[in-house]
A = this chain, B = another copy of it.
Amino acid sequence: MDPDDVVEMLNELFAVCIPIIFKYDGTVDKYVGDSILAVFGSPEPDKRQWENAVRASLEMQQAIRVQQEVWQKRKLPVYRIGIGIHTGAVLHGFIGAPERMEFTVIGDAVNRATRFCDGAEGGEVIISPEVFARVANSVEAIPKIIRTKHPESEPDMAAYIVKAWNAIDTSPLPAVSG
């Protein structure tokens, strides 16, 4: 592909994903190469951050499948993304110098999230056990072991592939009079 075509296709991909991240109250921390670092629950706390992250991810994969048909008509290569979700304590704040400040998150949980992303195949939404513990009642998920390429220094990681969001509406029914 021509470099300009790569940027164009990447921007079309991002144009599909970003509005969905925002719809679920996520923020885009940064782009790292062809990846998006999205954050849920920062800077504003969000009690539904885990649900929002998982549902946004499933919706992005669905939207990319639709976009795929557009790309195929233009004879562009198949582009599938893997999504990994992790949760944990992070530092968030403005980092940098007056000449260049960025609001960003820092911490081991961020680095670990990257490993779940790396472990996600194209089309998959992978969540860490810590995320699974928060959404277990609402997702259809199957276990997955992310095999490390470097077993001598990094252990394999337990994870889950999320297949669907199965939330049952448990809000109280309205009282019916009469």
Q: Which residues of A contact B (CB under 8 A)?
A: 3, 6-7, 10-11, 14-15, 17-19, 22, 28, 30-34, 91, 93-100, 102, 104, 106-107, 110-111, 149-150, 153
Closest to A111 in B: B33
Most buried by B among A10, A93, A100, A102: A100
| A102: chain B residues within 8 A (beta carbon) | 30-31
| A106: chain B residues within 8 A (beta carbon) | 6-7, 10, 33-34
Closest to A10 in B: B95
| A111: chain B residues within 8 A (beta carbon) | 33
30 A-B pairs, CB-CB below 8 angstroms?
A3-B91, A7-B91, A7-B95, A10-B95, A10-B106, A11-B94, A11-B95, A11-B96, A11-B97, A14-B95, A14-B96, A14-B97, A15-B97, A17-B97, A18-B96, A18-B97, A18-B99, A18-B100, A19-B97, A28-B96, A30-B30, A30-B32, A31-B95, A31-B96, A31-B104, A32-B32, A33-B107, A33-B110, A34-B106, A149-B150
